[in-house]
Structure 1
């Protein structure tokens, strides 16, 4: 019998009460004394409304480098991470589980694109897997991006993997139930996996199996520090959305091979994700975020981030053009997930463009995946789980319009919240109707 969204699932000994999860997003909580309160306000409503699993968004494994956006919450400092215990306790009090997603941006990091960040640091460290591929050299020469990358030595690759292990240890000590590795979205792990980025001639480069070595080493370092009982999950990329001029890329077939190998290594679940080799709208498919770019609220922040007055306009133009080729496609990772689901026996988590309850039911009943996640809809409806659960067969749809006005301002350090009036009106009406239930979190929403 096919599982329902309400059915429990076990991920390597971790009992999860249902198959709905909050996919990782940029939390933008920072590292100040109020970070735990910001994270509770952001994540606790999802737990209170019934979601089974929360994946806390990308947390850098180093304090100063590898951050892909301002105000990220690094897990490098043990004492700071211990201070996040009230968050994990609150999630558990509501009956949910929480994973910490660990990340390093490599050459996608702030050092590359954030003008003010570079200006504040005399020697910003850009870590690269290999010398820059030609398309990125051209972007650098045109002044669109600023690269001064240093290629990781073999010893430094080992040390970076060890940082993932140390941060995993900090997370588990703070009450997190497992570890989620940011293996896609153009971060350092994908850069090691991808033939576009990886031209190394040591043990971490060459064939696909050799390019996987860094991710395997990250897994080994995590296991060394947290033991065998803590679930370890990772995203698995396929670079299908890359421009046609990029010929060296990860195919879906490559992604299936990666997932199969990761099961052999010992990973407890995988999240197949199709995207690009670039940091572009393949991450956030949907409409061009007109409101986010045209309003005055974030104008100074964009100038600070991109440098001057012209660059923000160029970035916005590129964003507008790319939005035409990356329009919203419901459940866009489904074909990749289905291929991986056929190849492995560990749980497969599906996310990306899932907006309807009937869509979730179909993905599960057709054995496309074992859990279904949402990301941006939680910005619009922190308690959307209350509407989605216990409604099998009904057409419950997220109020999110995939307009991306929530995400673009995050380059300025702004929080990820819904800023679209029509969505906010719909959410407000549902709240008045009691659609989100009676259970309240610490924020009272």
Structure 2
């Protein structure tokens, strides 16, 4: 008999009460005096409504640099992380589990693409696996991006991995049930894995074995410092890359990375499709017309992208045409991985409700939703009862985050549907 969404399962010996999880999202909480309360407001409703597992959105392991978007939370400060026990306690009170996701953006960080942030931090260099690829150097010369990279030495790679370990140790002490490594979305872990970015000639570059060594080193640092905590990583495929890109991670590469992660000691994997660039292959769906046209965010767009912000919007429109919404777009990849590994495989990307049963039948051990939580913070109450998310994949929730805005649904008809459901008591357990 196929598993049901309401069935429990295990990750690294940790029992999770059901197979629905909140995928990592940008909570925009930062590290200010209200950060912990903001995270509780963002995450507790999902637990209260019945999500078995919550992945807190990507948190940055260092004091400076590495943020891929405004408002990301850092977990370098022991005093701040200790306060996060209030968040983990709130989640546990409802019987859910919570993992922290650890990240460093590398070349995708704000010090590359955010004009205002670069102006405020002129001496802050991007951490790079290797010299930026030729196409990105061209973007630098044209003024689209700005690169002043610091290519990590071998010793600095080990030190960065140690920062992941130290962050995990602090978070586990604050009550997190597990650790999720942000291995995709073009962050620095993906940059180590990808032959497009990784042109190193030391033990962290060149061969497949060497390119996955950074993930292995992170694993070892976390095990040494945080113990036998459940450990999950995303694993990327770069098949959404433009045709002119010749070196990228194939589906076969991703399957082999997942097998390597199991051999290293990771307790679950999350295979995801994407590109070598931060683009619409990650958030498939409609061009976010409403978000780009909203005058409330214009100043933020200008600060982020400079006077060329309209050109960025045009590029977004063009690229959206190549990545229409596809239900459960990672399911086929997950199925390939599941045939080759024995650890749990988690599937996210385009899960909205009707896809859950077939995905759990053949492709994955648990399913996750991300953007739908912006529209319905208490979404699990309906999904666990077999209903569909109201999200229309319009992406009006995501683009304003570049301007420092919160990730919330801004589409009137979706909000109206949520209101009608709330009045009927659909979000009560």
TM-score normalised by structure 2 residue count: 0.99
Residue 390 (structure 1) shift? 3.4
| Number of the residue aligned with 1:325 | 322
Matched, 1:146 2:143: no
Pick the aligned partner of 2:311 from 294, 297, 314: 314
User: How far apart in 2 are the matches of 1:266 and 1:198?
Assistant: 23
**1:159-185 Cα distance to aligned partner (Å, 9 max, x none):** 100000000011101110000000000
Matched, 1:436 2:427: yes
**1:37-80 Cα distance to aligned partner (Å, 9 max, x none):** 10011000000000000000000111211000111100111110
Matched, 1:381 2:376: yes
User: How far apart in 2 are the matches of 1:181 and 1:277?
Assistant: 18
User: How far apart in 2 are the matches of 1:340 and 1:23?
Assistant: 19
Matched, 1:346 2:337: no
Residue 125 (structure 1) shift? 1.9
User: How far apart in 1 are the matches of 2:43 and 2:63?
Assistant: 22
Residue 295 (structure 1) shift? 1.2
Matches within 5 A, 1:231-380: 231-307=230-306, 309=307, 311-356=308-353, 358-365=354-361, 367-380=362-375
Matched, 1:98 2:98: yes
User: How far apart in 2 are the matches of 1:226 and 1:14?
Assistant: 15
Residue 388 (structure 1) shift? 1.1
Matched, 1:206 2:185: no
| Number of the residue aligned with 1:414 | 405
User: How far apart in 1 are the matches of 2:186 and 2:121?
Assistant: 24
| 3-state SS in 1 of match to 2:339 | helix
**1:322-354 Cα distance to aligned partner (Å, 9 max, x none):** 000011111000111000000000000000011
User: How far apart in 2 are the matches of 1:144 and 1:10?
Assistant: 45
Residue 417 (structure 1) shift? 0.4
Residue 12 (structure 1) shift? 1.1
User: How far apart in 2 are the matches of 1:238 and 1:208?
Assistant: 14
User: How far apart in 2 are the matches of 1:117 and 1:390?
Assistant: 44
| Number of the residue aligned with 1:397 | 388
| 3-state SS in 1 of match to 2:45 | helix
User: How far apart in 1 are the matches of 2:5 and 2:109?
Assistant: 36
Matched, 1:218 2:215: no
User: How far apart in 1 are the matches of 2:79 and 2:377?
Assistant: 29
| Number of the residue aligned with 2:417 | 426
| Number of the residue aligned with 1:66 | 66
User: How far apart in 2 are the matches of 1:57 and 1:91?
Assistant: 15
| 3-state SS in 2 of match to 1:235 | strand
| Number of the residue aligned with 2:187 | 187
| 3-state SS in 1 of match to 2:46 | helix
Gaps of 5+ in 2: none
Residue 435 (structure 1) shift? 0.6
Gaps of 5+ in 1: 439-445
**1:290-312 Cα distance to aligned partner (Å, 9 max, x none):** 011011010001111112x3x11
User: How far apart in 2 are the matches of 1:164 and 1:412?
Assistant: 28
Residue 122 (structure 1) shift? 3.2
User: How far apart in 2 are the matches of 1:122 and 1:183?
Assistant: 28
| Number of the residue aligned with 1:122 | 122
- The number of residues matched between the two structures is 429
User: How far apart in 1 are the matches of 2:132 and 2:73?
Assistant: 28
User: How far apart in 1 are the matches of 2:195 and 2:377?
Assistant: 38
| Number of the residue aligned with 1:442 | none
Q: Which runs of 4+ in 1 moved over 4 A?
A: none
User: How far apart in 2 are the matches of 1:115 and 1:63?
Assistant: 20
User: How far apart in 1 are the matches of 2:363 and 2:349?
Assistant: 13
User: How far apart in 1 are the matches of 2:411 and 2:254?
Assistant: 35
User: How far apart in 1 are the matches of 2:57 and 2:419?
Assistant: 26
TM-score normalised by structure 1 residue count: 0.95
343-352 vs 58-67, which deviates more?
Answer: 58-67
| Number of the residue aligned with 1:441 | none
User: How far apart in 2 are the matches of 1:323 and 1:12?
Assistant: 38
| Number of the residue aligned with 1:132 | 132
